[in-house]
Structure 1
Amino acid sequence: MVLVADDKQDAQRGESLRELADAVAARGEAPVVPAFGSAAAVQAAVDRVDGPKVLTPAYVAGGDVASAELFSGFQVTGRGDVYATDPLGAVPSIVADLAGRLADGGWAPGDGVVLAADGGTGQPERQTVADVARMLSRRLGSPVQVGYLNSWAPTVADAVDRLRRGGRRVAIGAWRLVEDGDHERLRELGEVVTAPLWPADIVVDTLLARHRAAKARLAA
């Protein structure tokens, strides 16, 4: 498994990504190669891996613009020894974990909810974020607004402001995989702000499940 992400030259983000890679490797299912950094650094790390490899996004769809742009630059079509998985998305168990984080953080029925995403490179990621918002709304039994940090509209701040006009407290569910500087911006906006999805066992479980499915495709 080659875990791929842009590290944005963010020390906190880089540390979180390395911890994720270590946690996946500790399960002992497959060798794990961290490929975090610039496009050139990541490509070099990928090229150093001999034999079949599964390129695995270390981010959630719509949760990391820079990593999505980096990952989309890899050309794997026609290569029988490489398989690229999709980024994590509207996985019921991951959405359930996010709902639990909101409740544990102090969200209560009647509070407004904003799903805070980063944005992405195209319509499929926007659709994934919308799907996550719908699933989260069903879990909570409450409407969920979507806000974006670094691309697309509305912004997280705009979504929070709209909900506050009704006099409500606002809880923000962070749709991002690891801790980084951008997450600090969210903490200034809501009464409740969840931590990124990692660390959580369900993240490791899902990454490994996708790796097993990719291995089966490579072996077919």
Structure 2
Amino acid sequence: MVPTMVLVADDERDTHRQKALRELATAVADRNEAPVVGAFGSPAEVNETIRAVDGPLVLVPAFLAGGDRASAELLAQLDLNDRGEAYTLPPLGAVPSIIAELARRLQDHGWAHGDGVVLAADGCTGQEDRRVVTDVSRMLSRRLQAAVHVGYLNVWAPSVWHAAQRLRNNGHPRVTVANWCLVGGSRERDPNDLAASGMTDPLWPSPLIVDLLLARHRAGKARLAA
């Protein structure tokens, strides 16, 4: 029996974000590799959705490590202790193909050698997420051969604005923000408010994200079968 893939994220009661998450779940399901259930909402709503799934399941976070504070807090509140045949995967992180996609999007936004880059992460309470964001910034810096500083939208310092100002003070008059976010919402930040020349879009929609989420599911399926 193929385990159900349960995609989990907080939808923030944001209709734009809700629509994007449901479109992502549909795109994954359309690959016909596994049954897919979208569990989006509050911890109580997500727990109820999980309890309604028959048979084995693999819980796949539909967000990036350090890129979605609300979803990370939701994931920490889920209780699978009494749920047999369930495996929870970590969120996507420092994946080389994601770094390549970020670099491509920056170039599409007009980034050029000599420009600075701020990797904009949401931030959350876990130090592991902070380490992942740091790894992503280093990988992106190596790929671009350029200065990449981390800036946070919530919780941690430095802020995106301060990271952009620091790059300007270090001789990079143009700064582009690489958006470390899987799915956006209606309250996207204005690059001008972040002291940036531009900001890339969230990583979804991109077929790459569907590929990576399905690869995660296959890894979880193998762990359940072991």
**Structure 1 residue 167 displacement after superposition:** 5.6
Which of 59, 69, 85 aligns to 1:55? It is 59
Once residues 194 and 181 of structure 1 are traced to their aligned partners in structure 2, the CA distance between those partners, rounded to angstroms, is 15
**Cα pair distance change 1:167/1:126, threshold 3 Å:** closer
Structure 1 alignment gaps of length 5 or more = none
TM-score, with length taken from structure 1: 0.96
Partner of 2:205: 199
Partner of 1:4: 8
Partner of 2:135: 131
2:161 aligned with 1:181: no
Indicate conservation of the 8 Å contact 2:116/2:172, yes or no.
no
Indicate conservation of the 8 Å contact 2:118/2:164, yes or no.
yes
2:116 aligned with 1:112: yes
**Cα pair distance change 1:33/1:167, threshold 3 Å:** closer
Partner of 2:173: 168
Indicate conservation of the 8 Å contact 2:58/2:217, yes or no.
yes
The amino acid that maps onto 1:42 is V
**CA displacement, residues 113-171 of structure 1 (integer Å, 9 cap, x when unaligned):** 10000001211000000000000001100010000001100001111122223361111
2:144 aligned with 1:140: yes
Partner of 1:26: 30
Once residues 79 and 129 of structure 2 are traced to their aligned partners in structure 1, the CA distance between those partners, rounded to angstroms, is 19
Where does 1:82-97 land on structure 2 (aligned, <5 Å)? 82-97=86-101
Q: Which range is displaced more, 56-65 or 162-171?
A: 162-171
**CA displacement, residues 46-86 of structure 1 (integer Å, 9 cap, x when unaligned):** 11101101111010000000100100112335754100011
Q: What's the secondary structure of 2:78's corresponding residue?
A: coil
Query: Runs of 4 or more off by more than 6 Å in structure 1?
Result: none
Q: What's the secondary structure of 1:184's corresponding residue?
A: coil
**Structure 1 residue 184 displacement after superposition:** 2.7
Once residues 58 and 216 of structure 1 are traced to their aligned partners in structure 2, the CA distance between those partners, rounded to angstroms, is 20
Partner of 2:221: 215
**CA displacement, residues 17-69 of structure 1 (integer Å, 9 cap, x when unaligned):** 11110110010001110110111111111111011011110100000001001
Q: What's the secondary structure of 2:163's corresponding residue?
A: helix
Once residues 151 and 45 of structure 1 are traced to their aligned partners in structure 2, the CA distance between those partners, rounded to angstroms, is 29
Q: What's the secondary structure of 1:150's corresponding residue?
A: coil
Structure 2 alignment gaps of length 5 or more = none
**Structure 1 residue 188 displacement after superposition:** 3.7
Q: Provide the alpha-carbon RMSD of the alignment.
A: 1.4
**Structure 1 residue 104 displacement after superposition:** 1.0
Once residues 210 and 151 of structure 2 are traced to their aligned partners in structure 1, the CA distance between those partners, rounded to angstroms, is 26
The amino acid that maps onto 1:177 is L
Q: What's the secondary structure of 1:181's corresponding residue?
A: coil
Once residues 54 and 183 of structure 1 are traced to their aligned partners in structure 2, the CA distance between those partners, rounded to angstroms, is 30
> What's the % identity of the aligned pairs?
60
Indicate conservation of the 8 Å contact 1:117/1:176, yes or no.
yes
TM-score, with length taken from structure 2: 0.93
How many residue pairs get matched?
220
